[in-house]
Amino acid sequence: MPDSFLKKLADAQQIYSGFAELSYHSHQRELIYELDQIKLYHYQAKVKKPDAIPLLVVFATVNRPEILDLLPDQSFLGGLLDNGADVYLIDWGYPDSDDNTLSMHDYISHYLHACVLFIKKHSHQKQINVLGICQGGLLCLCYTLMYKEVKNLILISTPIDFSTRDHVIARVLKQIEIKKIIEQSGNIAGAWLTQFFISLRPFELIGKKYLNFVDQLQNTSFIDSFLRVEKWLHDAPDQAGTAFGELLTLFYQQNKLIKNELMLGGKKIDLAQLNVPILNIMAREDQITPMSASKVLKQYVGSNDYTQAIFDSGHIGIYISKKVLARMPRMIAEWLRERS
């Protein structure tokens, strides 16, 4: 191995080791409500007169919402604020062993509902807008059907049909013996989820990624972004066993949502009853939620106001790509304003 390359590897290792200490949040926000481990944040508006109807952003419980505001000048939440949105964010926290019996119904009817009611009161509005991301999109979709509190529903990379041909992750997850594992140990280790996502594309997410990192050591802006994303990638919370088990069995393994067989908390989740305006956003290169799994939503919902948008990016890239961030937040804000 050439000495110069060896030295670069060693230098890179030194720089890499500092990522855990990096700060995470870019935009000013205030913690306005807490319930158990769940926190609700309100972001400081960046325009004089933000939109009257609040926008609640709901990330997946899998992974942390920090990816939405990782860098000051490459921030999805920052983009929404720039475009006049009044942004709230749920932080699901880090479930511990006390939380292993939390179900999807608990997340929807207890936590999400409590946050929505709080925001209504906080903003003096009768309804609010909700933006759900990936599994967070599923929670929002079910919530919108179960309660009449949502004015407009925005979904990003939200899987609806778990049986499409190119949905590799769904096929693999069908093999996971989730019930047995949860019975044995309660929650699901976040470290396993990280390993799972990396092992879907190991040569890109380990080999090429770190080689690129070594090559770009002199590029301080690149290194800063790289290390923040790396910190986020490693910061995967453990998952409440019951809720995660339901996600895998009811959605990924049994595909009950589009079969019209899904029951949560004794209520049927019937997509045909979904009548609010819907903006369904997808990433063209998304391998976690391929477009084929999302775009079928239109066939199942009752809404007459359905908009689909596709951006050239991946499942996570969509929140940090400069090109996408120049367009997506503005598009969301305009879509909402037309329906306010």
Partner 1 sequence: MDKEKKTDFNQNWYDIWMKQSQLFFETAEKNLKNMFDTPTPIDPEAHAKEINAWLENLKKQWQFTELNMQQKEYEAYWRMCAKMSNEAAEMILAQWTLRAKEKNPIKNIRELYDLWLDCCEKIYEKAMQSKAYQEAYGDYMNAVLNFWQSTMPK
User: Is there binding between residue 98 and partner 1 (CB under 8 A)?
Assistant: yes
Question: Distance (Å, rounded) from C-alpha 141 to C-alpha 145?
Answer: 7
Least Å distance between CB 97 and partner 1? 6
Quote the Cα angle for 159-164-169, to 5°. Answer: 65
Using the rule CB under 8 A, is 8 a contact of partner 1?
Answer: no
Q: How far is Cα 21 from Cα 336, in angstroms, rounded to an integer? A: 37
Nearer to partner 1, 114 or 309 (CB): 114
CA-CA distances (angstroms) from residue 305 to 190, 216, 277, 301? 37, 46, 5, 10
Q: Determine contact, residues 103/182, Cβ cutoff 8 Å.
A: no
Counting contacts by CB under 8 A, is residue 20 touching partner 1? yes
Residue 134 annotated among the catalytic residues of the structure? yes
Shortest distance in whole angstroms from residue 7 CB to partner 1: 13
52 sits near partner 1 (criterion: CB under 8 A): no
Q: Are the CB atoms for 86 and 53 separated by under 8 Å?
A: yes
Give CA–CA dist 214/212, Å, rounded. Answer: 5
Rounded Cα distance between 70 and 332, Å, is: 19
Q: How far is the CB of 1 from partner 1 (least distance, A)?
A: 4
Of 96, 261, 305, 338, the one binding partner 1 (CB under 8 A) is 96
Q: Which stretch binds partner 1 (CB under 8 A): 101-109, 195-203, 253-261, 308-316?
A: 195-203
What is d(CA 62, CA 246) in angstroms, rounded to the nearest whole number? 13
User: Do 123 and 151 meet the contact criterion of CB atoms below 8 Å apart?
Assistant: no
Contact code string over 219-258 relative to partner 1, x by CB under 8 A: ------------x--xx-xx--------------------
- Main-chain phi, psi angles of 268, to 5 degrees: -80, 135
Q: How far is the CB of 240 from partner 1 (least distance, A)?
A: 12
Closest distance to partner 1 from the beta carbon of 202 (Å):
7
Q: Which of 28, 101, 195, 299 binds partner 1 (CB under 8 A)?
A: 195
DSSP bridge pairs for 279: 154, 307
Q: For residue 293, which of 273, 315, 312 has the smallest C-alpha distance?
A: 315
Q: Which is nearer to partner 1, 11 or 73 (CB)?
A: 11
Contact footprint for partner 1 (CB under 8 A):
1-2, 5, 9, 12-13, 16-17, 19-20, 34, 36-37, 93-94, 96-99, 168, 171-177, 181, 184-189, 191-192, 194-196, 198-204, 206-208, 210-211, 213, 231, 234-235, 237-238
Active site residues: 134
